[in-house]
Amino acid sequence: MTDEKKPAGIVRRDFLQTAGTAALGLGITGLPTVLRAQPASVKIGLIHPVSGFIAFSGNQCREGALMAIADINAAGGIKSMGGVKLEAVLGDSQGKPDIGAAEVAKMAEAGINGIVAGYASSISLATSQEAAKTNTPHVVDVGVSDQIVSRGLTNTFRFSPGYGKIADFAVANLDAINKAAGSPAKTAMIIHEESLFGTGTADLLSKKLPENGIEVIEVIKHANPTRDFTNIVLQIKAKKPDLIIPANYYNEYVLLARTMRQQRIEAMGIYSVLGGAASNYKFVKEFPEAAENIMDCNHWFNPKSEVALARKAAAEAKGLVYTYEVFLAYNAVLGLADAIERAGSTDKEAVNAALSSSNMDMSFMPYGPTRMVDGQNEGAQPVNTQVLKGDIEVIAPKEFASAEAVFPVK
């Protein structure tokens, strides 16, 4: 019973200790790392909500992670371990934290070497906590809740920005965009969905926007799903805000934007924070008129990076819509593989230590240098995007911008 729970690495180490003593007796003073017995593959658990109500995003995450594994293997696998290949072990959380946690427990026992999960914050909280019980390295791909990395779990890491940073960035950049245009926007309305993401966004913006001279004249919460935005849009029409700030998931965002277009809402701008559809090529392609000029503060790739553009092209060649789920999951696998490479083994403590000291080059993202503090990459940041002439352009920060902001629209 005890032996089953003992990690394989420890057993190997015990064996090597004995063998090493014998080898010293023969005058051999050591073995190169790569000549030691290596596992047949490095198992990476990918746990995403590939079925259930957020299945589209979950599948996007899975595809991104699988692309990363394929690319790493094609480039020679984990070289410090003699070219061992990565092997994906797939799990479906069905959008439920308890099932996500059960998947982690199952994978941990199957000898998983690291986990990338879990798209939604609530699922990431559960999976990382379960992984912490076996100290299994766990990289969160998309979940933005700051609580994910503030619980003191030494196995939990995130290469993408957290919610606090995104919200601060969104407020500061909106202020900058408004001021650059001569501060025409004085009022705003926030329309948000009811869960953690929408409510958190609305609360934060309601506090911060007045500090920048923008009065929040109305905050409207809606349920998930909401299939008719007519009443909400009529309220917007009546209040005539300068800015409309939506914070909703993809379907609701699309419906809201379409209804605003149908009702001929005229505002100086639509500015989203983590807008479900605002930085999504599918939305831009399917509803170009509704999407035009919408600004968003969101995860995005560096449009000036050849590597990023090549990955986008590769994803599109596979028929994928290149959403942030794809490249954030890709990056999470990349960060985990980089740590295993530097650790030179799959020893959990060594991999966690390597993740803690990660300085992976992420110039394909609009980030600063990678620097992990309590599991969070402090170099990560969002960008501002805007839909211009049927394409998604980066408008801030300046060093990554591919276009100038168009504001006010009217």
Partner 1 sequence: MRQLALLGLVFAIIGLAPFVISSDFTLNAVIMILYAALVGQAWNILGGYGGQFSFGHAAYFGTGAYTVAVLQVQLGINPWLGLIAGGAMAVLVAAIIGFSTFRYGLRGSYFALVTLAFAEVLRILSNSVPFTGAGVGILIPLDQGPANLQFVTKQGFFWVIWLITLAAFVTVWWIGQSRFGAQLMAVRDNEDAARALGVEAFRVKMGAIMLSGLFSGLAGVFYAQYFLYLDPYIAYGPAVSVESLLVPIIGGLGTLFGPLLGALGLHVISELTREFIGEFPGISLVIYGIILIAMVLFMPRGLAGLASRLRARPFGTRAKAAEGSHA
| Bridge partners (DSSP) listed for residue 191 | 220, 246
User: Is position 71 an interface residue for partner 1 (rule: CB under 8 A)?
Assistant: no
The residues in 88-147 that bind partner 1, with binding defined as CB under 8 A, are 90-92, 94, 96-98, 101-102, 105-106, 108-109, 122, 125-126, 129, 133-134, 147
CA distances 135 to 106, 111, 178, 333, Å, are 14, 12, 46, 18
Question: 8: exposed, middle or buried (C-beta count within 10 Å: 0-12, 13-18, 19+)?
Answer: exposed
Q: Which is nearer to partner 1, 102 or 181 (CB)?
A: 102
In the complex with partner 1, the residue whose CB is nearer, 196 or 309, is 196
Would you tell me how many other CB atoms lie within 10 Å of the CB of residue 47?
36
Distance of CA 278 to the CA centre of its chain: 16
Residue 55 binds partner 1 (CB under 8 A) = yes
- Are 293 and 270 in contact by the 8 Å Cβ rule? The answer is yes
DSSP track, 279-290: T-HHHHHH-HHH
Nearer to partner 1 by Cβ, of 97 and 375: the residue is 97
**Contact (CB, 8 A) for 366 and 128:** no
Q: In this complex, which beta carbon is closest to partner 1, that of residue 32 or of residue 319? A: 319
CB of 132 to partner 1, least distance (A): 8
Q: Which is nearer to partner 1, 59 or 385 (CB)?
A: 59
- The residue range among 35-43, 53-61, 293-301, 391-399 that interacts with partner 1, by the rule CB under 8 A, is 53-61
Residue span binding partner 1 (CB under 8 A) among the ranges 17-25, 64-72, 149-157, 285-293: 149-157
Tokens representing residue 280 in the block: 């999504």
Report if residue 59 touches partner 1, rule: CB under 8 A: yes
- Residues in the chain, overall count: 410
Q: Residue from 198, 246, 366, 382 that binds partner 1 (CB under 8 A)?
A: 198
Examine residue 346 and tell whether it contacts partner 1 (CB under 8 A). no
Question: Rounded to the nearest 5°, which phi and psi values hold at 29?
Answer: -105, 10
Decide whether 198 or 335 has the Cβ nearer to partner 1.
198
Tokens of 95: 């959008």
What's the CA gap between 128 and 146, in Å, rounded? 13
- Reduce the DSSP state of residue 390 to 3 states and report it: coil
Token code pair at residue 196:
């953690």
Per CB under 8 A, does 221 bind partner 1? yes
Size of the site for partner 1 (CB under 8 A): 42
Distance in Å, CB of 191 to partner 1, minimum: 14
Residue among 366, 372, 370, 364 at smallest CA distance from 398: 366
| Residues of span 175-194 touching partner 1 by CB under 8 A | 193-194
Report in angstroms how near the CB of residue 399 gets to partner 1 at its nearest. Answer: 33
The structure tokens listed for 37 are 């017995």
Q: With respect to partner 1, which residue has the nearer C-beta, 100 or 241?
A: 100
Among the listed residues 59, 88, 297, the one whose alpha carbon sits nearest the alpha carbon of residue 172 = 297
Max distance between CA atoms of the chain, in angstroms, equals: 89
Q: How far is the CB of 100 from partner 1 (least distance, A)?
A: 10
Smallest gap from residue 193 Cβ to partner 1 (A): 8
Choose between 140 and 291: whose C-beta lies nearer to partner 1. Answer: 140
Counting contacts by CB under 8 A, is residue 151 touching partner 1?
yes
- 63 with 320: CB under 8 angstroms? yes
13 vs 208: CA distance, rounded Å = 55
In this chain, which stretch among 51-59, 73-81, 237-245, 255-263 interacts with partner 1, using CB under 8 A?
51-59
Element at 216 (helix H, strand E): strand 215-222
For partner 1, which is the closer residue by CB, 114 or 198? 198
Are 256 and 198 in contact, with CB atoms under 8 Å apart? no
Verify binding: residue 393, partner 1, rule CB under 8 A. Answer: no
Q: Which residues in this chain contact partner 1 in the complex, by CB under 8 A?
A: 1-2, 4-5, 50-52, 55, 58-59, 90-92, 94, 96-98, 101-102, 105-106, 108-109, 122, 125-126, 129, 133-134, 147, 151-153, 193-196, 198-200, 203, 221
